Structure 1
């Protein structure tokens, strides 16, 4: 008899790509498994999940807006509506298990599943758990976490340390540096800086790179710059005529970008860190300061303490980021030290471990 599993969550690539990796691992172990995604209408998952070959149902849910309280007026109504939609989806699909990967849509789905006695699993990718996951963790069948010390957020007996699932295209990549550079039309003889501000872009990082764009050429460096949608046009205009700069709103072939890069600038989201650990690249992290419980700063500090990464604060990016990355690109000894320590933190089989555990527990 085939199993039916719902994967809920999204909002950013950091939630969506691990969820797809888990779904693929489940299908690999049990090809007849039926998988349905539930996401938030209008968010990135509504596009990326079908591209990966899975069905997704959208619900009307928004997150709590920390910067503008007036925008939260409609939140209770949306939440109520989402619960009605979730009830319909779950009653029709009749899942054996629900897996929440974070993002707005995971809360109502897991909450309803738990009320119906359906097996529920949480994947907490950060080293500081979100409030919704902490609430759901009390009744969860199992909580998969990326790092140790998570007993302060979840019941200890429910925790399983798995690491964070990384897309197979990255974890299994055999692309050479030369192939990566050719893909972006860049020279094979120059040091290359990869700039990624997350799937939605990062204002402070983009502005810092924009302001210091000429410095890269002066220091014989080339740039792969993912800007996100909002900054793309401005960045493309700035980069016109600069043959050492590749710029676009999104990099769909991240395995080529990591292969091409000597050093990386990145936000400190859990999934970005998981990928950079796995490809073992020296990196400067710029934590997004408005993430829930400031978890990106916690993530970055973990790496700095282990001599596995460097950090520049968001509000200091414009003054310090470009000079920091140029200094790192010129310092082979520092690059080797960071590579050595960050490589120890890479996990390549988290998706398989999670899939195995979920299938084992729902078949009991």
Structure 2
């Protein structure tokens, strides 16, 4: 099976691209001679990220259906027909042994065409509430890998396998000692650390909440690592000049392993990959879901954790003072912190990429 031919589609956002690349890397580690063909949506971030990771990619003329009546919606049927035609052509040319979809616009036509041609298909759903593409594909594919329980509400039960979301490799080993990392980062080793995450671009509302309360947060004996995103860094750096050493305002965190190791409490959005990371590293988290995502899936992800006392849910419409009060409450309740850490860690599935590739092997009739 060294000459395995793998077609993968996933994109639109990092939440779909990262799992696709992690699955490809795991296949490549097992089958060094395997050949890959990624398929994405033209002008989306996968067209840049996938080649950077060393894999070839083809783009389809496809986009999502807008909720309002727009010119884009009028062209949608033509985009679907064009993408199905190109997908069939790519499948004929590449002759895949397996087709894998991790969500996003392009995976719909590609996996639909692959399944229609008799190619074994597997999809991976990152969220507790699936996207429309994976819901439509669930009837056609052979296997559905999920990250949450109770997904039989959305998918055929006999196709479901609980695997989790693939993680970055550096988080799969124990984190370094927190005091060591705090010292290295110039933080106060004896103080707890609040880690604020907003994704690589940043989260506007999280930044507003922290920015408006930074003075009050500074009054606490608390280190802060605040990743504000590249879109917001310049304006926030200009607003908050001469910050003390124990407050780090950064556009981007290049070493997430260190950031997690130093942190005691994390404030973040509730995207699927972030939640999988928080579970593996076992951190007390205050989740502020983004309302600007398809099907409001971040709120549903956060609710799935808060219902198991594995994280605290904080709606972004709430007042900034309430957020500070919640941080203060957690700092003064080490047992509550510990309970949140233990409960979220129970949900961790650190070997997701390996589990997904095991499913691919079983579909193809090969034992590992």
TM-score by structure 1 length? 0.91
Q: 1:46 to 1:182 in 2, by over 3 A?
A: farther
Equivalent in the alignment of 1:251 = 253
Equivalent in the alignment of 2:136 = 135
Greater than 6 Å deviation, 4+ residue runs: none
Equivalent in the alignment of 2:270 = 268
Which secondary structure state, in structure 2, belongs to the residue aligned with residue 212 of structure 1? helix
Q: 1:31 to 1:67 in 2, by over 3 A?
A: same
Equivalent in the alignment of 2:307 = 305
1:289-304 aligned within 5 A: 289-304=291-306
Work out whether 1:315 is the aligned partner of 2:317. yes
State which of 349, 352, 355 in structure 1 corresponds to 2:354: 352
- CA distance in structure 1 between the aligned counterparts of 2:238 and 2:36, rounded to whole angstroms: 43
Equivalent in the alignment of 2:30 = 29
- CA distance in structure 1 between the aligned counterparts of 2:13 and 2:52, rounded to whole angstroms: 15
Equivalent in the alignment of 1:89 = 90
Mind listing any 5+ residue stretches in structure 2 that lack a counterpart? none
Moved more, 115-124 or 311-320: 311-320
Equivalent in the alignment of 1:283 = 285
Q: 1:173 to 1:307 in 2, by over 3 A?
A: same
Which secondary structure state, in structure 1, belongs to the residue aligned with residue 248 of structure 2? strand
Equivalent in the alignment of 2:114 = 113
Deviation at 1:308, TM superposition (A): 0.9
Cα RMSD (Å): 2.3
Work out whether 1:151 is the aligned partner of 2:148. no
Which secondary structure state, in structure 1, belongs to the residue aligned with residue 266 of structure 2? strand
Mind listing any 5+ residue stretches in structure 1 that lack a counterpart? none
- CA distance in structure 1 between the aligned counterparts of 2:33 and 2:352, rounded to whole angstroms: 21
- CA distance in structure 2 between the aligned counterparts of 1:44 and 1:76, rounded to whole angstroms: 23
- CA distance in structure 1 between the aligned counterparts of 2:182 and 2:54, rounded to whole angstroms: 29
- CA distance in structure 1 between the aligned counterparts of 2:246 and 2:184, rounded to whole angstroms: 14
Moved more, 64-73 or 258-267: 64-73
Deviations 1:13-33 (A, max 9, x none): 222222222112212222221
Which secondary structure state, in structure 2, belongs to the residue aligned with residue 172 of structure 1? coil
State which of 314, 337, 340 in structure 2 corresponds to 1:338: 340
Deviation at 1:73, TM superposition (A): 4.2
- CA distance in structure 2 between the aligned counterparts of 1:177 and 1:342, rounded to whole angstroms: 19
Deviation at 1:173, TM superposition (A): 4.9
Computing the radius of gyration from Cα coordinates, the structure with the larger value is: 2
Deviation at 1:135, TM superposition (A): 1.1
Deviation at 1:118, TM superposition (A): 1.1
Equivalent in the alignment of 2:4 = 3
Q: 1:96 to 1:201 in 2, by over 3 A?
A: same
Aligned 8 A contact 1:216 1:222 in 2: no
Q: 1:188 to 1:164 in 2, by over 3 A?
A: same
Deviations 1:223-269 (A, max 9, x none): 22222332222222233311333233332322222112111011112
TM-score by structure 2 length? 0.90
Deviation at 1:178, TM superposition (A): 4.2
Deviation at 1:56, TM superposition (A): 2.7
Deviations 1:300-330 (A, max 9, x none): 1121121111010122264533332243234
Deviations 1:142-176 (A, max 9, x none): 01111221112111111111122211121225433
- CA distance in structure 1 between the aligned counterparts of 2:217 and 2:129, rounded to whole angstroms: 35
- CA distance in structure 1 between the aligned counterparts of 2:237 and 2:81, rounded to whole angstroms: 42
Q: 1:131 to 1:361 in 2, by over 3 A?
A: same
Deviation at 1:186, TM superposition (A): 3.2
State which of 325, 328, 331 in structure 2 corresponds to 1:329: 331
